[in-house]
Amino acid sequence: MAHDPIPADPSAQSAALMRAARLIPVLTITDLATAVPLAHALVAGGVRMLEVTLRTDCGADAAIAIKDEVPDAIVGFGTVLTRADLERAKKAGMRFAFSPGATTALLDAAAELGIPFVPGVQTASELMAAAERGFHTVKFFPAEPAGGIPALKALAGPFPHMRFCPTGGIAEDRIEAWLALPNVVAVGGSWLAPDAEVARGDWDAITARARRVMAKFGG
């Protein structure tokens, strides 16, 4: 299956990808051998946009293996913290990059490099800094600890043009409420691929869960 067409502008690209995805698994892969079968299991269930975090030694290699071996996956780096991480993402051909935060240096590097980048924010000041550099779709992280739905509703007033992907502490039974917000384009979380199921290679369980939640929440 060919990748979906996306806009030329990097900020618009990330928004389009997330709007189509609706649910984005946050994958922290500790065993490189599990990367490809995990991606196949998620894609088989209809979950195509995969955030692979750089929190482990094999994270980048796992994302690259998925990109190379699972053509229907739309894969990118998560936990991007530095310009070097962004450069690595671009060199590896990642479709997007997520960060839990947004330093001035990171925002400037993302704008310069032109990779579809989603900075992490919690506050109005961080939103303003992202918007000044052309990033109008951001990650609200950690979503539940940072104030949850009431916080995002409050931010919608002064920032009606901003769009969000809340991630962090969101349980499955809260997804519907988050997605109902008009400024939310997608929801991210680690619960789509539980560590225990990945460790024992229970790919059927992961596919079944993905298929069930996409049937309910997918676009």
139 annotated active-site: yes
Tell me how far CA of residue 113 lies from CA of 37, 70, 76, 132, 176, in angstroms: 31, 25, 15, 16, 35
Catalytic residue among 51, 67, 126, 144: 51
- CA proximity to 42, closest of 2, 83, 5, 73: 73
Is 216 labeled as catalytic in the residue annotation? no
Cis peptide bond N-terminal to 142, omega within 30: yes
Burial (CB < 10 A; 0-12, 13-18, 19+), residue 92, is middle
Residue 217: count other Cβ atoms within 10 Å of its Cβ.
16
Question: Which entry of 67, 126, 139, 144 is annotated as an active-site residue?
Answer: 139
Could you tell me which residues are beta bridge partners of residue 165? 139
How long a stretch of residues is the chain? 219
Q: Which of the residues are catalytic? A: 51, 139
